[in-house]
């Protein structure tokens, strides 16, 4: 079922009840996974041309992304979060290619930007090889340009 269907409320309740069993460090990841599911719903709606379900699906997606953004700082594994954000952005591109306009996720972008800023400051205090310093500089440039998820990916490669 997708937003706008009568059974969607049950699906959402099941998702919410499962959240009780998710540890604090995994909540951001879980919220991003649910946001990805809402994008899958949007894709189904667009492919089936269910115009009347589009508005409820967009509302659900935006609410889920906002929820994910609020919990992002609590993430345990930035690597997993980064992968989930990348999936989210790819699915957003797919949804947009189907003619659906999505809001710019300012809350999520700001949360990612804060994490990247924090991680850059931590990395600057440690010793880095020349290659790691180069990647850090690229990440800083991406941060300045507003490419937060790309900056996060680069930062994660430094730690490897």
pTM value surpassing 0.75: yes
pLDDT computed for residue 6 by the predictor: 85
Q: Tokens 């990805």 appear where?
A: 36
Answer whether residue 36 shows pLDDT above 70: yes
pLDDT computed for residue 94 by the predictor: 93
Q: How long is the chain?
A: 160
Percent composition of the chain: helix, strand, coil (DSSP 3-state, to 5):
80, 0, 20
Burial class from Cβ neighbours inside 10 Å (0-12, 13-18, 19+) for residue 54 reads: middle
Average pLDDT over residues 117-141: 93
Instruction: HSE, CB side, 13 Å, CA atoms: give it for residue 51.
Output: 1
Nearest Cα to 70, choosing from 110, 130, 13? 110
Rounded to an integer, what distance in angstroms lies between the CA atom of residue 75 and that of residue 63?
Answer: 19
pLDDT computed for residue 81 by the predictor: 85
Of the pLDDT bands very low, low, confident and very high (cuts 50, 70, 90), residue 160 is low
């Amino acid at each position: 079922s997708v937003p706008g269907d009568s059974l969607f409320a049950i699906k959402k309740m099941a998702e919410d009840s499962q959240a009780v069993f998710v540890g604090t460090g995994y909540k951001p990841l879980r919220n991003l996974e649910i946001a990805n599911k809402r994008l899958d719903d949007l894709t189904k709606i667009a492919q089936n041309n269910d115009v009347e379900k589009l508005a409820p699906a967009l509302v659900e997606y935006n609410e889920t992304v906002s929820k994910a953004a609020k919990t992002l700082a609590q993430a345990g594994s930035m690597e997993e979060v980064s992968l989930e954000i990348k999936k989210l952005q790819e699915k957003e591109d797919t949804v947009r290619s189907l003619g659906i306009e999505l809001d710019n996720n300012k809350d999520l972008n700001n949360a990612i930007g804060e994490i990247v800023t924090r991680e850059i400051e931590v990395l600057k205090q440690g010793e880095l090889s020349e290659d790691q310093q180069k990647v850090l500089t690229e990440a800083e440039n991406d941060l300045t340009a507003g490419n937060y998820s790309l900056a996060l990916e680069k930062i994660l490669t430094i730690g490897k």
